[in-house]
Amino acid sequence: MMKQFIRPVYVFLLLLPLLPLRAQDVLTERNIFDLRQVIEAEISPDGRFVAYSVLVPRPFTESPGGDYRELHIYDLSSGSARAYVAGKKVVYRLGWSRDSRMITFMANLDASNQTQVYGIRLDGGEAFPLTDSPTGVMGYTLRPDGAEIAYIATEEADPKQKKLAAMGFNVEIYEELNPDRNIYIHNIASGETRQVTRDVSAFDIAWSPDGKYVAAAIAPENLVDHSYMFKRIHLLDLATGTLTKLVDNPGKLGDMAWSPDGRRLAFISAVAVWDSKEGSVFVADVPVARAFTELRNYSDGFEGTVTDIAWKDNSTLLFTAEEGVDITLREQVLDAPSSRMLIEGGKVVLRGVSHSKGTSVFAASTPEHPFELCTWRDGSLQRLTISNDWLRDIRLAKQERFAYEARDGLRITAVLMYPLDYEPGKKYPLIVDIHGGPESAYHNGWVTSYGNWGQVAAAKGYFVFMPNYRASTGRGVAYLKESLGDLAGKEFTDVLDGVDVLVDRGYVDADRVGIGGGSYGGYFSAWGATRHTDRFAAAVVFVGVSNQISKRNTTDIPYEDYYVHWGIWTHEDVEKVWDRSPVKWAGQSKTPTLILHGKEDPRVHPSQSLELYRSLKVHGKAPVRLVWYPGEGHGNRRNPARLDYIVRTMQWFDTYLKDNGKEIPPVIPEYPLD
């Protein structure tokens, strides 16, 4: 008996030295929380420096929370960079003073626990506050001469209300006590602040280069739905204090940018109220407003979705755009009939663009690395930073753009990741990773995160299929409209058709196909586990919709849901709305389903997951588990909840796609914390 006991221990000890080597050679669930990446990049007006923020993962040894964001400055002439604000800080909304001597940003750096606007000198020193809003700052813009700063903030709570709350009368009146988001003008030298708007809510502001106006994206109320659907561009005349609507854009509104001479305002907008994504670029003359129908849509007929804009000069716009699974950089001369490609698809996936003195800067990723600081200058694309040296020692799976035809002949694009050690002729399990929105898209850059299995799944021997089904961005307005009023119809058969292509090519074992995703991706996963249960051997539903009737009556975006997704109210066709609800089909489900949801989710109420769990538990024919995340909303913010998500979901897929579901995974998984 002694020999029988010693022998397996001896074998285990021999294997121990090999385990760390294996862990270092592939991307694991734990490695995701070591990744640093560039989030924002802003070039100085003189074109010599770039301010950029770097996401730094929060260690698991600290109290639960989100990641940090440091401020770094890159000197384009010397090629050197250094941190200006580092450590346990979160900085964002980067900007520059016109003389390029000061960097501005938003952060919470003192004991007041309020976000303020700060400045820090290019030549060094400590960051200093530029605002002192008692309720914190939500957005800002600096006057060109640097003398004043306009910012968005709410008013302080009514003292009577605060007193009653302290006595225990802390009732919450849903959506009625939301304070307006006012615009304030703060004189930096004198410290004086004046409120300049009332009874409306501002969500974005930009000071004109001539100092005469503040352009503002204004909505009637401070509600999420209003921020989605009812923002309109207004001009605040600083000489008179009047607020005038400049453009009555129909539907969603994105970023706006002033031309250098202050005579024009470019903005990204939807083309109609049913357009689900602000993805077309327009230009308005200032101060004379014209009807929206008279404005030129510079992306009219363009099979893509504009994501960011910047002015190159007074008559030339730069914009980034989703084009299928790629992101491109284009140049549009205002009088030219069409745009000119600068950075074609397949080079990098861009995020944001900032331009000065012939140089454009942005964050960009590729399939080999997360977002880094990059420049475009003199026709040359250059990567400036390397944030994750250790990735050089990681073997990454093959990733490619994948295109196929849907059953009605429509071309669908996707990102496809192969198993790490793929062998032609061998069939593999497949994870179908569905993006949310649906007005979103997967890009052929870095696609691995806590919520996307990517390289982690590939290292475990999975194909990972990420389809941009109809209703996704990156294919123009008509493609977006394809799913209006047809939720989980043709857009879902696009997914099934892609899976069929992979099966027909001999890549994938049709009996080992899983589906997962968050938000709308969670809805698709619940739909796959119920209505199309014969197609999926496992499902992961994260913050997903299960009952469209109750979802539409509990979400914080009912108008967005109506205008851009359904086109009808529930009472106008109850049977149609119920028919597109996964719980209707739960009784036929034989797909093992893992359901996960933040308990504070305002977008998709947590009761949606409870409905799905209960209907599958009572009527379904397969294992089901419901996981709540206390304190989390529509997606996980804190790293312990994020690690739990990817560990638990991979464990679920492994059990039902590789181990034939011999035993349901343990309730508490082993977390790789070291």
So what's the pLDDT on residue 3? 30
Q: Which residues of the chain have pLDDT under 70?
A: 1-23, 289-294
Tokens of 480: 């977006």
Q: pLDDT, tens digit, for every residue of 53-96?
A: 999 999 999 999 999 999 999 999 999 999 999 999 999 999 99
What φ, ψ does residue 36 adopt, rounded to 5°? -100, 150
Q: How far is CA 505 from CA 89, 370, 408, 417, 493, in A?
A: 49, 30, 20, 15, 18
- Dihedral (CA of 220, 226, 228, 229) sign: negative
Q: What share of the chain is helix, strand, coil (3-state, %, to 5)?
A: 20, 35, 45
Q: What is the DSSP letter of 587?
A: G
Tokens of 555: 């979400």
Tokens of 579: 């028919």
> Which amino acid does the sequence have at 568?
I
**Exposed e or buried b per residue across 437-449, where buried means at least 16 C-beta atoms within 10 angstroms of its C-beta:** bbbbbbbbbbbbe
pTM given for the model? 0.94
Sequence-ordered list of residues with C-beta below 8 angstroms from that of 451, at least 6 positions apart, any chain: 518, 542, 635, 636, 642, 645, 646
So what's the pLDDT on residue 4? 32
Map out the domains of the chain with their CATH numbers.
395-658 (3.40.50.1820)
Cα–Cα nearest to 222, from 205, 197, 236, 202: 202
Tokens of 58: 């929060």
Tokens of 363: 């964050």
Sequence-ordered list of residues with C-beta below 8 angstroms from that of 590, at least 6 positions apart, any chain: 533, 534, 620, 621, 622
Asked if residue 121 lies in contact with residue 110, where contact means CB atoms within 8 angstroms, the answer is: no
So what's the pLDDT on residue 72? 98
Cα–Cα nearest to 565, from 458, 469, 488: 488
Distance CA 646, CA 518 (A): 12
Q: How far is CA 281 from CA 133, 233, 254, 298, 471, in A?
A: 34, 14, 9, 6, 19
So what's the pLDDT on residue 445? 98
Distance CA 643, CA 672 (A): 9
